[in-house]
Structure 1
């Protein structure tokens, strides 16, 4: 089996796809990971063969527009960004899929050059979610927007949601779906790291981790509230841990002396030693917290973060606040660190559900069956 994995140049989207790409290679299949030039170095650091396609797009600049009030001319901002990435990548990706004789294209849910290239080459497209399904409900409305690009690459009748969807979100959190779903066990990955983390296994008080991903600090440092939240949490009878990247260190401001600051350390082992996540609602941090059985206090500021946060709240495994509610965040932290919090019980139930999801290696066999089924149907025709 020859598999092309693809996403646009945003590291966390690569991280979500990497475990399945590793599983394909471990099973003896041929894999290439295609993305815009800006992600090639990170793909190589993930131990995967990289191919550059298209040109880089100012993603941070386009996301920054989300945070500005008022409407703009043309399609909605999110649609404009998805189209810009697809237009950048589609021609080169289509050529790669054809010339390399790929059997299947695996794409993240927002990398819509993937299903276009697959349709143009006549091979299955496999959509890989990295969190809440943000696309299936709006895909029919996007068909007209993407039609000119589909015509350009020779992909009439394409489906933006692909032939099947690989989903790391457990069913009780994802909610009802209408597409063919391949569940997969969530495997946290956040780039090359060195273990162990600088955090003791045991603690005398509940331990609260405050972490805000990477996006908000990139697009608007003024909206990065980690320092304020850590200072507020320190007023409670809890131990506060701040997990940040090196580029975010200067944004924290003064912190209480007993605050633990972890820089560029993987979130998975950090949360395994904590009792609560306070975060921005990013897909990776949400799933990593649930995997550890931790409830969350989430303060989303972007549409996709709001979507992930809403699914956690709907499952009862956390609470969602607006930015304007940050001054009262202490009471929510205090309630959720309690051992009898209903959110804590729900998060543990989700963790057990996640452990029962099929491993990425099992999904590889399903992909091979998908290809075999498609080939058999074509022979019959």
Structure 2
């Protein structure tokens, strides 16, 4: 069958999809990856075939322009981490978000980001699907253009998650609370936006355009939220992009090795950094006396601004996580899908410092599973980071719990093993094409 993979132009989100893409390819299926021009070199660097859709404007510049123009609320105007709390409640009898809460999240986060990530590629992607006629479209969890384009040609489509499925939880809360409102107040910005694009291409709106025909989830059971969708668990397999393994990684460290990483996207996005230069310097000074080999990945220009590098610290611009993580006794990271998933896979205790939307849920799961510690960015001073690393290195329960979770990850179906299930689901869902209207 023909499989089209669709993602907005963010390389770490692409990397999350590459192992499954290659599993489908080596099973004999034709696979192409569609994204905007800014990502094409990264796609072809994975060995996959790229298809260009959308604008030539790089995503960071588009987001900064949206901030300037007011079409995307700045980070400081978004709902703060941990609020509203019901979104991050993992108890089975949790109370759904209130109408005011969930509507605010939709208006300030969900709908503006959907427009930003999808509008530019939408028409081109539909044209690509009409020309190539894929049987299956796999789309990144927020790249709704993939669902609309797939439906326009009668293809089966599925979401591939990169983290905890907060989007489905928000959608279920939204529909539940909206049904309780007076009919005149039942506004649905996401449906309005999806419907607008869908109708132009002869597609009738359904919740499948938001949720997919099914969902592929790379997180183990303790990290999966309960919802009413068909969900396929898939073992997380790391992909780091182009990488050369430094020889020193293979040498046995003289002290416990600790990795501090902030993700490959931080090289292009200074706004994503959890720490400023002064804060980073204070942290390095505070842990300088700990018996460890601290490996810190930082862009070269950031490294140059540090005044001191302790003897127990090695600065690197990039190291492949899949190579270094198995050698680590602990990892401090920003909560990205690659860092979080790779640490789980290799059973490494982790310290997470993050301001991402899914951070509070990950914090709760870290506590529940006992695999590590966490801090909010505003609480991550030098003393707090030092205390967290000391816990991870000296309390063996974190290692035992992390190894137990790693075994659970490895017991999940691999991308290769999942291919046959996907083939069967495509056969079950296959529908007829919608005539072109453009």
* TM-score calculated relative to the size of structure 1: 0.90
Equivalent in the alignment of 2:275: 224
Q: What is aligned with 2:386?
A: 330
Say which structure, 1 or 2, has more relative contact order (CA 8 Å, 6+ apart). Answer: 2
1:83-98 equivalences in 2 (<5 Å): 83-98=115-130
1:161 aligns with 2:211: yes
The answer as to 2:403 corresponding to 1:372 is no
**2:97 counterpart residue number:** none
TM-aligned CA deviation for residue 227 of structure 1: 4.5
Preserved contact between residue 6 and residue 34 of structure 1 (Cα < 8 Å): yes
Query: More deviation in 6-15 or 193-202?
Result: 193-202
Write out per-residue CA displacement over residues 301-356 of structure 1, whole angstroms, 9 at most, x where no aligned residue.
23244554444344332222112222222111101112423x32221111000111
Question: Could you say if the C-alpha distance between residues 347 and 99 of structure 1 is closer, same or farther in structure 2, counting changes exceeding 3 Å?
Answer: same
In the alignment, which residue of structure 1 is the partner of 2:34?
Answer: 34
Pick closer, same or farther for the CA change 1:303–1:3 going to 2, 3 Å.
same
SS at match of 1:179: coil
Q: Using a 3 Å threshold, how does the CA distance of structure 1 residues 267 and 182 change in structure 2: closer, same or farther?
A: same
Q: Secondary structure in 1 aligned to 2:3? A: strand
Question: Does 2:234 align with 1:184?
Answer: yes
> CA offsets per residue over residues 85-140 of structure 1, 9 Å max, x none?
21111111111112111101001101111111112222111110122213212336
Q: Which runs of 5+ in 2 are unaligned?
A: 80-103, 175-189, 433-438
1:350: which partner in 2? 405
- 2:7/2:139 contact within 8 Å kept: yes
Decide which of 41, 45, 70 is 2:77's aligned counterpart: 70
**CA positional deviation for 1:235:** 3.1
Contact preservation (8 Å) 1:183, 1:357: yes
Q: Is the counterpart of residue 124 in structure 1 residue 175 in structure 2? A: no
Does residue 180 of structure 2 align to residue 148 of structure 1?
no
Distance 2:244 2:154 in 1: 42
Cα contact 1:279–1:297 (8 A) shared by 2:
yes
Report the TM-score, using the length of structure 2 for normalisation: 0.79
CA distance in structure 1 between the partners assigned to 2:76 and 2:317 by the alignment: 33
The 1-side partners of 2:120 and 2:289 are apart by 49
Which residue of 361, 366, 376 maps to 2:416?
A: 361
Contact 2:195 2:205 in 1 (8 A): no
The equivalent residue for 1:340 is 396
SS of residue paired to 1:333: helix
Task: Tell me the equivalent position of 1:294.
Answer: 348
C-alpha distance 156-192 of structure 1, shift in aligned 2 (>3 A): same
Q: Secondary structure at the match of 1:237?
A: coil
1:53-95 per-position Cα deviation (integer Å, ceiling 9, x unaligned)? 1114553353777764236999314531222221111111111
Distance 1:155 1:254, change over 3 A: farther
Distance 1:68-1:108 versus aligned 2 partners, 3 A rule: closer
Q: Is residue 2:332 matched to residue 1:278? A: yes
CA RMSD of aligned residues (A): 2.6
Q: How does 1:208-247 map to 2 (within 5 A)?
A: 208-216=258-266, 218-220=269-271, 223-225=274-276, 226-246=280-300
CA distance, structure 1, for counterparts of residue 367 and residue 59 of structure 2: 28
Partners of 1:194 and 1:54 in 2: CA distance: 32
Q: For residues 228 and 167 of structure 1, do their structure 2 counterparts lie closer, same or farther at Cα, with a shift above 3 Å needed?
A: farther
Q: After superposition, where does 1:248-267 map in structure 2 within 5 Å?
A: 248-250=302-304, 252-267=306-321
CA distance in 1, matches of 2:251, 2:78: 49
Deviations, residues 279-317 of structure 1 (Å, cap 9, x unaligned): 111111011011110111111023244554444344332
State the distance in 1 between where 2:233 and 2:305 align.
38
